[in-house]
Amino acid sequence: MAVRLLISVLIISLFSFTYASDPAPLQDFCVAVKDDEAKVFVNGKICKNPKMVSANDFFFPGLNKPGNTSNAQGSKVTPVNVNQLPGLNTLGISLVRIDYAPYGLNPPHTHPRATEVLVVVEGTLFVGFVTSNPADPNVKNKLFTKTLYPGDVFVFPEGLIHFQFNVGKTHAFVFAGLSSQNPGVITIANAVFGSDPPINLDVLTKAFQVDANVIKYLQAQFK
């Protein structure tokens, strides 16, 4: 009996790890209720009453319109995740449009909950991602890069730091699918140098092996 119980627990554990991303839906749909209207907080979004669901809950207009790239990075991400399209709740997928000014950059960032697959519609992009820390401390993180043209597709594995840079002289844009209804994003520079409250100066100077004035300068860029 004990052996059977142990085997059952192991099977359940393995099944849980296999499906460690967004859970599969248990009904046709679970349209998300807006956070400010929810009575409880759950891991994800609670479901709207199916009798109140309409076609508009599964609809998002406007991805044909370019995003405003008039910013320091020269890029604009237009997300379509569960916060913009409530019908995505429990479906484990979302979408973004990314626009780039000439020499615009979508800076190094990571999606903690999703793999991203990107297709170039217009322009020429230099893209890449960096692997996680190798088991051998003497081996460096590996960088994979590629120059992409219209029609090219590239995938960024879940959780890995990646970027896209417009190396062309014209506007560029892409569409990308992500394997989560709410993939999340951590922009590395903003998170490290622009957190609130800021990360302790001694921590950053030791981590980056630079003078404190360098860290202060970098933190000042994100105030």
Instruction: Enumerate the known binding-site residues for oxalate.
Output: 106, 111, 116
Binding-site members are 106, 109, 111, 116, 162
| Residue 131 structure tokens | 């692997």
Q: How many helices (H) and strands (E) does the chain have?
A: 4, 10
- 69-74: list long-range contacts, CB under 8 Å, 24+ apart: 69/99, 69/100, 69/101, 69/104, 69/171, 70/101, 73/104, 73/105, 73/106, 73/107, 74/100, 74/101, 74/102, 74/103, 74/104, 74/105, 74/166
Closest CA to 154 of 129, 130, 188, 179: 129
Binding-site members for Mn(2+) are 109, 111, 116, 162
3-state secondary structure of 17: helix
| Residue 76 structure tokens | 């604009």
Distance CA 110, CA 5 (A): 39
What does 174-217 look like in DSSP terms, one character per residue? EEEEESSSS---EEHHHHHHS-SSPPPHHHHHHHHT--HHHHHH
| Residue 187 structure tokens | 């922009």
